[in-house]
Amino acid sequence: MTMHAIDPAITRETSARIAQDRATVIARNAASSCGIRAAAHNPQAASLASTTFDVQLKQGDITNQKRSGRCWMFASLNTMRYRIIKKLGIKTFELSQAYPLFWDKYERANWFFENIIATANQDLAGREVSFLLADPLCDGGQWDMFRSLVKKYGVCPKEAMPETANSSNTRDLDKYLTRYLRACAKKLREAVTAGQTTEELQATKNEMLSDVYRALVICLGEPPASFDVRIRDEKGELKASGTYTPQEFFREYVDMDLDSYISIINAPTPDKPYYRSYTVKYLGNVAEDGGVRYVNLPIESLKRVAVAQMRDGLPVWFGSDVDQGFDSERGLLDPASIDVDALFGLPIEAGLNKGDRLQYGESLMTHAMTLQGVSLDAAGEPTSWRIENSWGEDHGHEGYDIGSAAWFDEYVYQVVVDKKYLTPEELTAFESDPIELAPWDPMGSLA
């Protein structure tokens, strides 16, 4: 293919037009002085964002994931601690986020080793092996992966396994363990080539897992096998006490049927028909619990089930592309809040619809949070959403964000709800044999 150079005449003509275009000159002055988002900020959108909602759940103190990618864990634990707060009648409570982080890294190392062994005869430069090696120990995850961790390991209060420097800032932990895992991958592939038996490979893998466990203990501390519990309310009254294992604590105080909660996605792309179940190749963590499963439904279904669960007094885990249309300073998620199309005079945001953005690499799920409230119009349709984030109380509206109806439609990709809120048709679709998506499919992205 012959490549063509830029015609200098185009540059000269464009430059001449800009000099005569008052709107472009004003936009240039604003954007170059204060940045694109500040110049494109739409104050009217912020003024229309109400902080009161028709359905509003009361949660404890805002949590903070700090410099880690554990939003999916924080969002999941926030839905669980809500049940504890409500059950015990206390003002706030926090579950340990370091505890599932430890077990996720450990389980994900095993998941990685198993997949490396399974693909050992594939070309090292092949797309699947390259994908496995790219980021085997990242912080991100999915609801189904968290459910697998809790089913196996339970949960514990934050006091039983508090944060460390490495849980609050996971960069070096991920960096050095990932380097070790890649060295292990080389050793495992060479062992397969050398003809090691299944038993010999598993023995080699177990030695590697022992090393990973030790490294995690160094960075995060050792997870408690049991712990003492003393929980008091703001008046000092003892509401819970005893000695529990993490599994016992989950059963007693969270009391949640994990298998009843399922993932619903909205991916309006031609390759993913609605009312079908999907899974993603190589996506998971706990080997014996399998991978993930979604049902793809129209966005109206996601809104309906989310509202229904909140009306019944329970928050909703959801995944979105958080940076799109995000006025972070004001805690507002609304495509109208940052009007870059007006600033540049170009269809930057309007040029692609939701399905196009997924297919062309412009958008995917990047962050998980919890829905804690919703405002409804006269017809019962959502007009705005109250969103609990995990970026500390100094963010947004004392830790909460407000999402517009348009933002939900365009940038929310997943909600997790009790399957009882699905229609018979939707539930049948979820329970059908899942279609396997490629590992790099956008719906395999990790929050």
Q: Identify residue 339 by its one-letter amino acid code.
A: D
Beta bridge partners of 402: 332, 386
- Alpha-carbon distance of 212 to 192, in angstroms, equals 21
Find residue 155's DSSP bridge partners.
none
Catalytically active residues are: 71, 367, 389
Whole-model pTM: value is 0.96
CA neighbor of 250 nearest in space, from 264, 229, 232: 229
Q: In sequence order, what DSSP letters do the residues of 311-345 get, joined into one string?
A: HTT--EEEEE-TTTTEEGGGTEE-TTTB-HHHHHT
On whether the CB atoms of residues 419 and 427 are closer than 8 A, the answer is: yes
CA distance 51 to 37: 23
Dihedral pair phi/psi, residue 261, rounded to 5° = -100, 125
Q: At what angle do helices 171-193 and 98-118 cross, to 10 degrees?
A: 20
In this prediction, residue 84 carries a pLDDT of 97
Identify the pLDDT of residue 46: 74
So what's the pLDDT on residue 216? Answer: 98
Q: What is the pLDDT of residue 332?
A: 96
pLDDT given for residue 45 in this prediction: 83
User: Consecutive 10-residue runs of the chain (447 residues): their mean pLDDT?
Assistant: 95 94 92 93 80 92 97 98 97 98 98 98 97 97 98 98 98 98 98 97 98 98 98 94 98 97 98 98 97 97 98 98 94 95 95 98 98 96 97 94 97 98 98 98 97
pLDDT at 75: 98
pLDDT of residue 352: 98
Between strands 332-333 and 400-404, the pairing is: parallel
Residue 274 and residue 297 in contact, taking contact as beta carbons nearer than 8 Å: yes
**Model pLDDT, residue 47:** 72
Query: In the prediction, which pLDDT does 261 show?
Result: 98
Q: What is the pLDDT of residue 280?
A: 98
Count of helix runs (H) and strand runs (E) in the chain: 17, 14
Residue 230, pLDDT score: 96
Note the pLDDT of residue 169.
98
pLDDT of residue 44: 85
